[in-house]
A = this chain, B = another copy of it.
């Protein structure tokens, strides 16, 4: 090679802060807080206070490479930790308060954090787990008394250092349902490239006029990187703390002129219910990005037809920083007409983004055609994909970079990806695959059904066959025959569940159907 002769300036997260403070210094950041009035400042203010926090961290003995944990909601103080901790070369472990106590303890000890910053609402939790924390030596409440007093007298500028862009910046643990949570250690390079990609119109495409309210938790894979994409684009930030109920969200949307928000489907179910009940409308809202689970079609339709809001489905995981694909429109889809485009966008997780490579692999390890039909293991690769979990000896990705997501998916000729199942949930019937998710989606439409869960259970002839577990709405008079009649014209015959049973459907801590429990409970249903 002939070496290039351009500057090799490292990509630093502090560069985002400096940029926003210089180019969009007066652009607002509005934050709700726990038991305190709403807080307003701007990117210049974020720059000053992050500097104060950086000095504070140094004073508390935090050294480059050290880990610091946050147990916090979406607030401006948490945002300051997002910049100050990686800014001085340390690593922010964003602990997930939704985990069980022992898992929270495990992640903090595994991270070997020296300081734990926590919101007031986690005081009891912290009191409970503190005795089991082996490395934490300082507890700091993100409150006016503690946090504010601590940073108050520090200088408002800080000489943010440049260092290896592959240094660790954020430590996010998966909420793995099996085994201990695994730590994914985001580098500065990954976070900055991911934030730039998030700013492109194939993903979020913010302009300086956007007002962005992240309702995905900051502790979940940095809330899709919105705390970084927004300032790169000069967008105003609105942080709702932990108030995700319809009334609170609506108040912020209206008073702050929110144009873009996003979160898991549960939040938007509540919000749409609230809008319907109150007859209110979100006047400024243009786009809602929804991920974490598949977007119910009725939700996307309600947003569009009732309120003129565009739904962007998104798929990603902690291991991908987390943006994998985003369902934004393209001319190829638009050419099909509006209805077909909506259908395509609402039924697919999203399209290929620059920077991420996707591969669907069939069982023999060859690449499946991009035909929208052939499904297989979904692999991802790229500069914001995990290579190895924290403190593990072996790589999580293959030597050639491909990381197996655990999902089963298809890819089509337009680069749109559709998840058809989790690898562990797909039903292998006589060598053919049945998508438990597709079956559930159909069954969920049957009148009287509240939750439909499908699992594969051992079958003497076909290896596995689908069992449909229905939790009915209270008082609904739905029976097995009703369900089978409903399914018959909507699915291919060989997908028909071998039995339909009525029972409460167990959910995981994050609100997903707990298929592990279901499989165990019904394991011998077709064989005994």
Q: Which of B89, B185, B206, B330 contacts A24 (CB 8 A)?
A: B330
Whether A51 is near chain B, meaning CB under 8 Å from some CB there, is: no
Whether A233 is near chain B, meaning CB under 8 Å from some CB there, is: yes
How far is it, in angstroms, between the C-alpha of A401 and the C-alpha of B6 when the chains are bound?
10
Residues from chain B with a CB closer than 8 A to the CB of A267 are: none
Chain A 389-410 interface 0/1 with B at a Cβ cutoff of 8 Å (1 = within): 1100000010001000000000
Q: For A396, give the chain B residue with the smallest CB separation.
A: B5
How far is it, in angstroms, between the C-alpha of A54 and the C-alpha of B66 when the chains are bound?
47
Whether A450 is near chain B, meaning CB under 8 Å from some CB there, is: no
Q: Is the beta-carbon distance between A208 and B370 smaller than 8 angstroms?
A: no
A151 → chain B closest CB, angstroms: 24
Residues from chain B with a CB closer than 8 A to the CB of A351 are: 23
Residues from chain B with a CB closer than 8 A to the CB of A202 are: 23, 208, 233-234
A401 → chain B closest CB, angstroms: 6
Residues from chain B with a CB closer than 8 A to the CB of A329 are: 208-209
Q: Is the beta-carbon distance between A352 and B3 smaller than 8 angstroms?
A: no
- Selecting from A100-108, A161-169, A294-302, the interface stretch reads A161-169
Residues from chain B with a CB closer than 8 A to the CB of A48 are: none
A8-B383, A208-B201, A354-B16 known; A168-B234 Cβ under 8 A: no
Whether A369 is near chain B, meaning CB under 8 Å from some CB there, is: no
Which of A16, A383, A390: most chain B Cβ within 10 A?
A383
Interface size for A (C-beta < 8 A) is 84
How far is it, in angstroms, between the C-alpha of A510 and the C-alpha of B23 when the chains are bound?
32
Whether A271 is near chain B, meaning CB under 8 Å from some CB there, is: no
Chain A 10-22 interface 0/1 with B at a Cβ cutoff of 8 Å (1 = within): 0100011011001
How far is it, in angstroms, between the C-alpha of A232 and the C-alpha of B200 when the chains are bound?
9
Q: For A356, give the chain B residue with the smallest CB separation.
A: B19
Chain A 348-371 interface 0/1 with B at a Cβ cutoff of 8 Å (1 = within): 000111110100000000000010
Q: Is the beta-carbon distance between B382 and A5 smaller than 8 angstroms?
A: no
Which residues of A, 300-324, contact B by the 8 Å Cβ criterion? 321
Whether A207 is near chain B, meaning CB under 8 Å from some CB there, is: yes
Residues from chain B with a CB closer than 8 A to the CB of A353 are: 23
Residues from chain B with a CB closer than 8 A to the CB of A167 are: 1-4
Copies assembled: 2
Q: For A66, give the chain B residue with the smallest CB separation.
A: B2
Chain A 266-278 interface 0/1 with B at a Cβ cutoff of 8 Å (1 = within): 0000000000000
Which residues of A, 182-200, contact B by the 8 Å Cβ criterion? 184-190, 193, 196-197, 199-200
Q: For A234, give the chain B residue with the smallest CB separation.
A: B330
How far is it, in angstroms, between the C-alpha of A8 and the C-alpha of B397 when the chains are bound?
12
Q: For A389, give the chain B residue with the smallest CB separation.
A: B5
Whether A178 is near chain B, meaning CB under 8 Å from some CB there, is: no
Whether A250 is near chain B, meaning CB under 8 Å from some CB there, is: no
A316 → chain B closest CB, angstroms: 14
Q: Is the beta-carbon distance between A9 and B386 smaller than 8 angstroms?
A: no
Whether A150 is near chain B, meaning CB under 8 Å from some CB there, is: no
Q: Is the beta-carbon distance between B7 and A386 smaller than 8 angstroms?
A: yes
Residues from chain B with a CB closer than 8 A to the CB of A187 are: 3-6
Whether A332 is near chain B, meaning CB under 8 Å from some CB there, is: yes
Q: Is the beta-carbon distance between B205 and A2 smaller than 8 angstroms?
A: no
Whether A246 is near chain B, meaning CB under 8 Å from some CB there, is: no
Q: Is the beta-carbon distance between A201 and B233 smaller than 8 angstroms?
A: yes
Residues from chain B with a CB closer than 8 A to the CB of A186 are: 4, 6
Whether A476 is near chain B, meaning CB under 8 Å from some CB there, is: no
Q: Is the beta-carbon distance between B6 and A185 smaller than 8 angstroms?
A: yes
Residues from chain B with a CB closer than 8 A to the CB of A206 are: 201
Q: Is the beta-carbon distance between A1 and B233 smaller than 8 angstroms?
A: no
Q: Is the beta-carbon distance between B200 and A197 smaller than 8 angstroms?
A: no
Q: Is the beta-carbon distance between A331 and B7 smaller than 8 angstroms?
A: no
Q: Is the beta-carbon distance between B233 and A163 smaller than 8 angstroms?
A: no
Whether A526 is near chain B, meaning CB under 8 Å from some CB there, is: no
Whether A67 is near chain B, meaning CB under 8 Å from some CB there, is: yes
Whether A65 is near chain B, meaning CB under 8 Å from some CB there, is: yes
Whether A413 is near chain B, meaning CB under 8 Å from some CB there, is: yes
Which residues of A, 60-109, contact B by the 8 Å Cβ criterion? 64-67, 89, 91
Which of A23, A67, A334: most chain B Cβ within 10 A?
A23
Whether A225 is near chain B, meaning CB under 8 Å from some CB there, is: no
B-contacting residues of A (Cβ < 8 Å)?
1-9, 11, 15-16, 18-19, 22-27, 64-67, 89, 91, 163-164, 166-169, 184-190, 193, 196-197, 199-202, 205-209, 232-234, 236, 321, 328-332, 334, 351-355, 357, 370, 381-390, 397, 401, 413-415
Instruction: Return 7 A-B CB contacts under 8 Å, by A number.
Output: A2-B185, A6-B187, A6-B189, A18-B357, A25-B413, A27-B331, A201-B206
Sorted from nearest, which 7 A-B pairs have the closest CB atoms?
A: A4-B187, A23-B415, A1-B167, A2-B168, A6-B190, A23-B352, A4-B168
